[in-house]
Amino acid sequence: MKPTRLTSPVLIGRIGELATVAAAAGQVRLGAGRAVFVTGEPGIGKTRLLRESGLAGTGMAVLTGRATATGGAMPFRPLVEALNTRLRAGPPPTGPELEPFRPALGRLFPEWRAGASESTLVIAEGLLRLLAALSREQTLALVLEDLHDADPETLDVLGYLVANLDALPVLVLASVRTGPSPALDLAYRAARDHGVPVVELVALDDTEVAALAAQCLRVDTGALPDGLAQRLARDSDGVPYVVEELLAGMVAGGVLHHDGLRWHADRDLTLPVRVTVTRTVADRADRLGPDARRLLEAAAVIGGRFPLAVVRSMRNMAEDEADRLVRAATAAHLLRPDPTGDGWHTFRHALTADALRAELAPDEHRRLAAVAARALATSHPGLPGELCSLAAELHLAAGDHDAAARLLAEAGTRALDEGAAASAAGLLERAHLLLRDTVPASMVLESLLVALEETGEFDRAQRLVDAMLARADLPTARAIALQSRLGWNAFHGGRTADAESRVAAVRMLLGPDAAAAELAAAEVVDAHVLSLHDGRAEEAEEVALRAATAAERVPLPEVVCRARQLLALLARRHGFAAADRHLLEILRVADEHGLPLWRVRAAIRLASNEMIRSGRSEALRQARDAAWAMGAVHTGYDADASLAMHDVFFGRYAEAVHSTQECAGALSRFGKVVDLQYVLVVRAAAHGQRGSRAGMEAALTEYDRRGGTGSFYTPLVHGLCRAFCALLEEDPAGARAELAAARAFEDHHTTIYYQWGRYGLSLLLDALAGAAPAPEAAHPAAELRWNRQFVHFAEAVRRGAADDAAGAGAALAAAREAAAVFPTAHRLGLRLVAESALAHGWGEPVTWLREAEHHFQGLDAPLVASACRTLIRRAGQRAPQRRAGHDRLPTGLRDLGVTVREYEVLLLLAERRPNKEIARRLYLSHRTVEKHVASLLRKTGQPDRTTLCGYATELRPG
């Protein structure tokens, strides 16, 4: 029987490749996300393999998207196409984990659009969460085809998804053509870093070619005409698509014919007459008639996919006539409907469009490209979306480089506005190169430098700028703008020496009499560089203020905001009120010039300052919510980290740990290492300030692994984490050593963190040790509420030691008022002051100790709670009995008969403390500690003290 279509109804070969996909799908159905890349030359069967993998039969929802050369400049095309097949079929998913990313996802799905654009990483995280939400309804297979034509943003997002799929029931299948491409690089990186299979489809062997031909002709292999299989194997090189096209060409040309019973060949198929794919495609187009051939040629000039309305205009065809011809071409297996609809169609295979273009004479190709460009502009005013870059390609093919450059620049600017920096960089650089011999190229280059700042490609930016600066006709103003912009790129990328050299170049261009406005952009860079040098904070402040003032007059609003943001950080050493004045200026400039992201950044910093001063977080929470609402995800995470530290101060340790886990996961995936380091310090403080040294050290180990050692968070590690934890372990000497280490670090490094202890906790420990008052008590940072509580506690200690009971009582009252919102720091202050008050006979130390003991007992900080009880007994009062019921003992120890006091000794043995120190920490005699250790050896069955210490380490909570 004669076939209606010369394609095989079954997939030939590929058994091992299908098994790889099936194995990945099986893992996904068990809840473990997987990815598979399929590679091979054009026509080898990548798409066929993906579509024959049987995923629909597994119960998965199969979402398919395809990259095209036509839409390569449209960011995220294959991802949007795939996900829209689900999102248009039902209501969008919701959930608290997805809501903050809805504005960022609005760049992909217009119905979600709101607020500012965000980085590709934020889009990637949003898509990861969207997939998580969708996969809760049904296991997903995300099929992405022809990624060799994909935009950089799609590849960035795909790399992010592949690296973070583990916990999602999602299968990602991606096809990419062999040959050098960023997509193939991604596939091999995924294989190296994440064990993702890369399935390379190889040519069919001669037996498989014969089987494919038989399936296409709907006969057994033995019924093929003599010599046909050998001819196909020779001319197709084992490529399935070429086999099918050669067969179609032979049938269309009468080489093969069917007599109703079997197939025959009309000539000797062993003759060395090569039939090319180009010729067979052209012959099939000719058989549809001259009008269809003209329509297909016009469509091929546009690309692998095309809007039918533009092709109709190019060929002056009526709508019904064009529709009829498209239906005929689809039936002939040359075209297929485009998945996106909206009047677009697609060639069945990229080789089909290539073959039709190859048949055109060069002059005719240029003429048709010019006609297509005009038709596209007429039918789609403003050339929205991908049409702008498509029109640019058509102008290039027509030889109109000026028009192409203008449209590429426009498309690049749009991509930059949408946050697609990599696509923008590619488009803008092409426009810049087309304009190389004209001054407007420098204007395009300024936009290109903004894109390259986002992509972190300083060397590429430097090469382009230096080439432009070598032009003799470049106006000085343009050269200054380029040098200033490149200087900021260098600083943003951590290359301070390069930044300094660009600032120096600007100063040289302008000479000694330059106006401040001309220097403003470069001086902002200079100020940021100066701020990194020890002892040059005042100079940095002076330069930044001069730049801000000059930029305000021009105006250069972004420059003003950058300068004021730096000034707000530097001004903290003068007091937070001074910092707030700069932040309020950013708010004003942002409102005046429509800079919503700068507005929310300033609002968050203002609210953070308010929280640090007063302990109130309401304004910061509102500003954080505003950041999330507009899609400013990185800024939102900054606010979340600050709020987590606020939770630590307020004793909400579980909330802080939960929040830092969420932040750390996202920041780690984003590669925001410095921000991640801070979040890990906050997590360590959450553990340390509840006495869990093991939890604290685990967080700090991760902090060190992430490069935190020696960072400007070091004072926080020593002060807020380890020193505070040492005090909860009744180790004031250890706490003072940690605070001394923090001070030594800060003496040689600039800091913007003032709550680690220098202006608060250190002052209290100094007072308890009898040291003279330190000048830090008069520093503006001592007025921050967290610090102020310790300053007043220290004053109470000093006045009590000087027999000024009234003054001590007033200072203690002030301390308690400041400490009222900090439950653990408050009671720690009471415990420390009470011991001094007992020694000097003032106040109500037993009342304070009972309050502190109750708090620390509930906090499960046994050592400081025990110290409070001991001090109460030393004052001749009855201490709370906490041993009845052994509520704090681990079940295993309670079953062994270990007492609460023995458990307290065991906790200190975990730290390898000698008996003498244990006795001091627990206010026991050396002999009593020896008895407790002997009892623990007996009850736990440990042979010696060393193994008992190891046993204690394993049992230690946290």
Describe the chain by its helix, strand, coil percentages, rounded to 5: 65, 5, 30
- % pLDDT > 90, the chain: 39
Mean pLDDT of 769-784: 88
pLDDT tier at 1 (50, 70, 90 boundaries)?
very low
pLDDT tier at 485 (50, 70, 90 boundaries)?
confident
Q: What is the pLDDT of residue 274?
A: 46
Q: What is the pLDDT of residue 756?
A: 93
Looking only at the bridges linking them, the beta strands covering 263-265 and 335-337 are: unpaired
More confident residue, 806 or 2: 806
Cα 759 to the center of its chain, rounded Å: 36
* Topology adopted by domain 15-200: Rossmann fold (3.40.50)
Q: What is the pLDDT of residue 895?
A: 67
Q: At residue 56, does pLDDT exceed 70?
A: no
Q: At residue 690, does pLDDT exceed 60?
A: yes
User: What is the C-alpha separation between 909 and 922, in angstroms, rounded?
Assistant: 12
- Give this prediction's pTM: 0.66
Cβ count near 569 (within 10 Å): 18
Mean pLDDT of 521-548: 88
pLDDT tier at 373 (50, 70, 90 boundaries)?
very high
Mean pLDDT of 222-239: 87
Task: For the chain, state the CA radius of gyration.
Answer: 36
Q: At residue 2, does pLDDT exceed 70?
A: no
User: At 710, phi and psi to the nearest 5?
Assistant: 80, 5
Q: What is the pLDDT of residue 623?
A: 84
Q: At residue 72, does pLDDT exceed 60?
A: no
Q: Could you report the per-residue pLDDT of 500-509, keeping only the tens digit for each?
A: 999 999 988 8
**Nearest C-alpha neighbor of 742 from the set 717, 761, 725:** 717
More confident residue, 94 or 295: 295
Q: At residue 122, does pLDDT exceed 80?
A: no
Q: Measured at the alpha carbon of residue 190, what is the angle toward residues 185 and 193, in degrees to the nearest 5? A: 120
Q: What is the pLDDT of residue 672?
A: 75
Q: What is the pLDDT of residue 78?
A: 86
DSSP assignment, residue 719? Answer: I
**Which CATH entry fits the domain spanning 883-958: 1.10.10.10, 1.10.1740.110, 3.90.800.10, 2.60.200.20?**
1.10.10.10
* CA 1 to each of CA 314, 446, 481: distance values in angstroms, whole numbers, following the listed order: 41, 66, 73
Judged by average pLDDT, the poorest of 80-84, 485-489, 878-882 is 878-882
Q: At residue 115, does pLDDT exceed 70?
A: no
Question: Does residue 288 contact residue 252 with C-beta atoms inside 8 Å?
Answer: no
Judged by average pLDDT, the poorest of 11-25, 138-152, 912-926 is 912-926
Q: At residue 699, does pLDDT exceed 90?
A: yes
Q: What is the pLDDT of residue 81?
A: 83
More confident residue, 341 or 842: 842
Mean pLDDT of 401-411: 92
More confident residue, 367 or 110: 367
pLDDT tier at 71 (50, 70, 90 boundaries)?
very low
Mean pLDDT of 894-922: 83
In three state form, how does the secondary structure of 298-319 look? HHHHHCCEEEHHHHHHHHCCCH
Q: At residue 335, does pLDDT exceed 70?
A: yes
Mean pLDDT of 144-163: 88
Q: Could you report the per-residue pLDDT of 561-573, keeping only the tens digit for each?
A: 999 999 998 888 7
Q: Could you report the per-residue pLDDT of 716-732, keeping only the tens digit for each?
A: 999 999 999 999 999 99
**Nearest C-alpha neighbor of 521 from the set 493, 563, 479, 553:** 563
- % pLDDT > 70, the chain: 93
Mean pLDDT across the chain, nearest whole number? 86
Q: How many CA atoms lie within 13 A of 485 on its CB side?
A: 25
Q: What is the pLDDT of residue 472?
A: 80
Judged by average pLDDT, the poorest of 329-338, 387-396, 553-562, 764-773 is 329-338
